[in-house]
Amino acid sequence: MNTNFDFSEETVEVIADDGLVGMRADAACAAVCEKLGLTVTRSAVQKLADSGALTKNGVPVQKKYKLSPGDVLILTLPEPEELDVAPEDIPLDVVYEDGDIIVINKPQGMVVHPAAGHATGTLVSALLFHCKGSLSGIGGVMRPGIVHRIDKDTSGLICVAKNDAAHVSLSAQLKDHSMHRTYEAVCIGRMPEDSGRVEAAIGRSKNDRKKMAVRSDGKPAATNYTVLAEFSPKEGGVFSHLRLKLETGRTHQIRVHMAHLGHPLIGDTVYGGGGTNFEKRHPAFFAGQCLHAASLELTHPRTGEVMSFDAPRPENFNKILSLLES
């Protein structure tokens, strides 16, 4: 694969050789960018192609164009956008930090990156203040340093990249599943086995674009679970305390898979929780799904050391377990 990157002109040159001939232009450009450590995603290339930024001999090329031998494509990268997310002095529970990565124990209720209705108070704003601008730029202006995310109402561990090389390494670990993430949750009902595996593809819900759903045409997704305890509280019903390990990392994966099994997480009103007598009796302890990213294992992007991190369950999670036990 022949490549050339001219930083002064902010262009990527993609020369079709045996490794690229026959590939779609968007896929080829994304592959070349990844090799160069730019991590310009395929979707980003598609948007650039749609805007006319991908050319051959000065003529715009469609993203679906398939490369022929000798083709030379030029992808013009946009100028870096000025970050319009303001740093905020928000306390962070820092589990680990060095010059390459920072691991945060995110509280329930904090949004990871700015979005509609959540312009301030985000983890990104807190990181911008804490890290003084030392974050990877690969995630774009709204997601600096963000390699993976957890939902607003999910607590627990998230690893953030402080430079582009670390971002590339962590993204690769997510892609090849060598980064291991383990969660704890409480679901409604009795699980069919003490341990098991849920394998069901996930995609955007056809009925509600804000939700995800099990779909035959979705992206592959697999979740492993182990039952830690089972409860039958005085309010009635059965509940299970679970440990869950992700094989993949789809949006809302655990929540969707558990609802698919007929065992939604307590507190998860989006996917079927929230309606039991226990939840109605103790509303003060529910601010969303009872789900906590409890442990994280990764390979340090600079040293190659395998590192493991743990975060204790938040107070409301422990209170829910205590109430269930009683």
Active-site amino acid positions: 151
Whether the predicted pLDDT of 77 surpasses 90: no
Nearest CA-CA partner of 314 in 281, 283, 291:
291
Give the per-residue pLDDT at 5: 34
Q: What are the start-end ranges of the H helices in the chain?
A: 25-35, 42-50, 123-131, 164-175, 253-260, 277-281, 315-325
The per-residue pLDDT for range 16-30, each reduced to its tens digit, is 887 899 999 999 998
Domain range summary for the chain, segments of one domain joined by +: 2-76, 94-175, 180-325
Give the per-residue pLDDT at 54: 93
Mean pLDDT for the stretch of residues 165-183: 93
Please state which CATH class domain 180-325 belongs to.
alpha beta
DSSP for 132-156, please give it.
TT-S-STT-TTSTTBSS---TT-EE
- Single pTM value for the model: 0.75
The per-residue pLDDT for range 185-242, each reduced to its tens digit, is 999 999 999 999 999 999 988 888 789 999 998 899 999 999 999 999 998 999 999 9
Fold of the CATH domain 94-175: Pseudouridine synthase (3.30.2350)
Judge whether 2-76 and 180-325 match in fold.
no
Report how far residue 310's alpha carbon sits from residue 319's, in angstroms, rounded to the nearest whole number: 19
Whether the predicted pLDDT of 108 surpasses 50: yes
Question: What CATH superfamily classification does 2-76 receive?
Answer: RNA-binding S4 domain (3.10.290.10)
